[in-house]
């Protein structure tokens, strides 16, 4: 899915599978070294969260776009436009203008906001991801979206991994109704980064120590808005050296 203003010639990518193994191989080819990796979150109950590899630095939520969700998004925008919100200048946000690229947007947001502005994440010098972030971090969100559209190296790596995984690869012309968003902590607040929305969403106070608990509360709100829909999954970005799949 994509919602930002399109370019003259619409760009479409094949969607990435919501599979930690696929995402790990994808980011290695982008120049994101271990121990950064992705792991399935098997459930949102407290006892299952104990199995999430620590430390967790981002959560990526995958869920279907439904009429209930679209209604909520509109109401949320009206509320924020009226009341305002605080967004840290250190948050790096990329609007999505490429159809079916939301998997890459989730991965990009998870990495950018753990690398930029003194973040802990180290990237390979000369790697595709580091070059792209160095080129775009200081730009406006709209300029970042244009830069992503024009980055053929990143597009090529995305394409090579979009055809891997355990599920059948959809046709390039298909509109995929599943959507990724990323949750990160930055400067003491929890943010939702969704390239289909006009800006980051501040979900309140958080910290590195409480990030997972705080992010799971937001994930539960997503589930609670459409409880009859079972097509919902969560992946954690972690720097745990070893973990069980």
Which DSSP category does 15 fall into? P
C-alpha span between 62 and 166 (Å, rounded): 16
- Contact between residue 154 and residue 26 where contact means Cβ atoms under 8 Å apart: no
Residue that the structure tokens 């969100």 belong to: 141
Is 161 annotated in the active site?
no
Is 179 annotated in the active site?
yes
- Containing H/E element for 81? helix 67-83
Catalytic residue among 109, 158, 179, 203: 179
C-alpha span between 30 and 38 (Å, rounded): 14
Catalytic residue among 102, 109, 158, 182: 102
DSSP per-residue string spanning 104-118: HHHHHHHHHHHHTTT
b/e map 89-104, b = 16+ CB within 10 Å: eebbbbbbbbbbbbbb
Strands 37-41 and 233-238, how do they pair? antiparallel
* Residues classed as catalytic: 102, 179
């Amino acid at each position: 899915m994509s919602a930002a203003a399109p370019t003259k010639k619409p760009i479409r990518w094949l969607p990435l599978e919501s599979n930690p193994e696929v995402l790990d191989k994808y980011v290695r080819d982008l120049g994101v070294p271990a121990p950064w990796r992705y792991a399935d979150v098997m459930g949102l109950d407290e006892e299952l969260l104990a199995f999430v590899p620590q430390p967790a630095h981002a959560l990526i939520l995958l869920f279907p776009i439904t009429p209930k969700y679209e209604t909520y998004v509109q109401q949320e925008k009206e509320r924020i436009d009226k009341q305002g919100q605080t967004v840290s200048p250190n948050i790096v946000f990329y609007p999505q203008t490429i159809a079916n690229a939301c998997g890459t947007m989730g991965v990009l947001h998870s990495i950018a906001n753990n690398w930029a502005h003194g973040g802990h994440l180290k990237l390979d010098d000369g790697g595709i991801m580091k070059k792209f972030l160095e080129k775009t971090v200081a730009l406006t969100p709209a300029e970042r979206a244009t830069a992503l559209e024009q980055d053929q190296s990143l597009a090529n790596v995305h394409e090579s991994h979009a055809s891997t995984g355990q599920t059948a690869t959809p046709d390039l012309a298909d509109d995929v109704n599943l959507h990724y968003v990323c949750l990160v902590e930055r400067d003491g607040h929890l943010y939702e980064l969704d390239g289909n929305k006009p800006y980051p969403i501040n979900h309140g106070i958080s910290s590195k120590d409480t990030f997972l608990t705080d992010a799971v509360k937001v994930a539960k709100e997503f589930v609670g808005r459409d409880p009859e829909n079972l097509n919902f999954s969560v992946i954690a970005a972690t720097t745990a050296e070893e973990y069980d799949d």
